[in-house]
Amino acid sequence: MPLFDRPIRTGTPNIGDRATLHRLLDEILDRRWLTNNGPVVQEFERRIAEYLGVRHCIAVSNGTVAIEVAVKALGLTGEVILPSFTFVASAHALSWVGLRPVFCDIDASTYCIDPSRIPALVTDRTSAIMGVHVYGRPCDTAGLGAVGHAAGVPVIYDAAHAFGCSHDGAMIGSFGACETFSFHATKFFNTFEGGAITTDDDCLAEELRRCRSFGYADGSRASGSVGTNAKMTEVSAAMGLVNLDSIEQIIQRNRENHTAYREGLDSIAGLSVIPFDLDERNNYQYAVLEVLEPFPLTAGELMRRLERENVFVQRYFAPPVHRQAPYLAAVGSAGRALPETDGLAERVVALPTGSAVSPDDARRIASFIAGIA
Ligand code: T4K
């Protein structure tokens, strides 16, 4: 008999109050206003900006497009320096709009891009640095700001993992020139598919809105510049409003699961669950186990062993982006040694969490893994 009689998956979506969602959907259908900056999207943007304490939230159709729109609105060209320890979409978004990703290794203490390694990668083609707040743990924003300033380029953040997290007491969303979020189904806070760009810069916000919607200036139907279609639908925004109402309960459940995993696994030789800074706000959406010797299985072997027990984990992020086909061949930095990135990618397993996983489930998974040792 497997450990569970139903599949337990990393990435199962959290869903807020269904009755409220159904009511909002009925209102959308009755209004027959389905997209193009409708009232629900406007309300969603207002609520997100308020939650994050940032002047502008521009809701978009997903987190990948959020990056594409952000770099277009900033007018970036040439090369952008980013970590390879991220989801492939971070690099794809840059490549898709004709930028060249230049991969930098991570800092062993934050698992985010290491500012001290960036100056060696700066060339006269560098137009920005993109940090990624990996697993919701913040980048060294002060260090990146200083490196960006010295190189004369803006710093932007892919904050896809970091909705609801704070850094130095301020919510992530207002660091750098702008930050981008993903509200994909597998994120702890989802809008089915969706994303957002947040910024305190009024001029950039205006340009972001133009880029999102065919280059239209606000209120105008004449295109003043080249733009794309990156709009969020009313239905997605409704899901976002409903999930925003439940966000504290979802975070609480994530935290309880994270604690259950830590209590069950941290004392086992070769295992550790990546911790969060308890002085900050965290979303705890990734309960990431690091697997090292003397634990008898590798992270990949543990994943396959758990599958036999009906537990489906994800290996965020193995292989790292610089080891994936489009970048092995096409990028000049291919093959560059990124030892911290390669080492971490070998070790990580993102365990199931979220509202579909109870702390009891997490304890059972932890004690099963502990029993392998
Ligand atoms: N930057 C960073 C740092 C990111 O992590 C991401 C996305 C982005 C940018 C781009 O944002 P988006 O354009 O995606 O908004 C998932 C997500 O698709 C992706 O959004 C996320 N990061 C990445 C880390 O994870 P996969 O390939 O693991 O997804 P998938 O379909 O294999 O699903 C994972 C698990 O979730 C499976 O066990 C099935 C389960 N699942 C999935 C969906 C979609 C469900 O139970 N229900 C569902 O509806 O990439």
Q: Quickly list DSSP for 298-355.
A: -HHHHHHHHHTTTEE-B-TTSS-GGGSHHHHHH-TTTT---HHHHHHHHHEEEE--ST
| Cα(203)–Cα(217) distance, integer angstroms | 12
Instruction: Compute the CA torsion angle 49, 55, 59, 65 (nearest 10 deg).
Output: -130
Query: Residues enclosing ligand 1, CB less than 6 A?
Result: 9-13, 62-64, 86-87, 89-90, 132, 158, 160-161, 182, 184-186, 195, 312, 314, 316
pLDDT of residue 285: 97
Give the single-character DSSP code of 218.
T
pLDDT of residue 217: 82
Residue from 351, 371, 326, 359 nearest 95 by CA: 326
Distances (CA, A) of 182 to 83, 198, 207: 17, 12, 20
- CA gap 110, 139 in Å, rounded: 7
For residue 259, the model assigns a pLDDT of: 98
Q: CB–CB of 73/274 below 8 Å? A: no
Residue in the block written with tokens 């006269």? 124
- What DSSP element (H or E) covers 288? strand 287-291
Residue 334, pLDDT score: 47
In the chain the domains, ranked by start, together with CATH numbers, are: 18-244 (3.40.640.10), 246-372 (3.90.1150.10)
Q: How high is the pLDDT of residue 373?
A: 87
Residue 191: is it exposed, middle or buried by C-beta count within 10 angstroms (0-12/13-18/19+)? buried
pLDDT 10s digit of each residue in the chain, 373 long? 999 999 999 999 999 999 999 999 999 999 999 999 999 999 999 999 999 999 999 999 999 999 999 999 999 999 999 999 999 999 999 999 999 999 999 999 999 999 999 999 999 999 999 999 999 999 999 999 999 999 999 999 999 999 999 999 999 999 999 999 999 999 999 999 999 999 999 999 999 999 999 999 877 778 888 999 999 999 999 999 999 999 999 999 999 999 999 999 999 999 999 999 999 999 999 999 999 999 999 999 999 999 999 999 999 999 999 999 999 875 555 456 899 999 999 999 999 999 999 999 999 999 999 999 8
12 alpha carbon to ligand 1 midpoint, in Å?
10
Residue with tokens 């080891």: 323
The minimum-distance atom of ligand 1 relative to the CA of 194 is 15
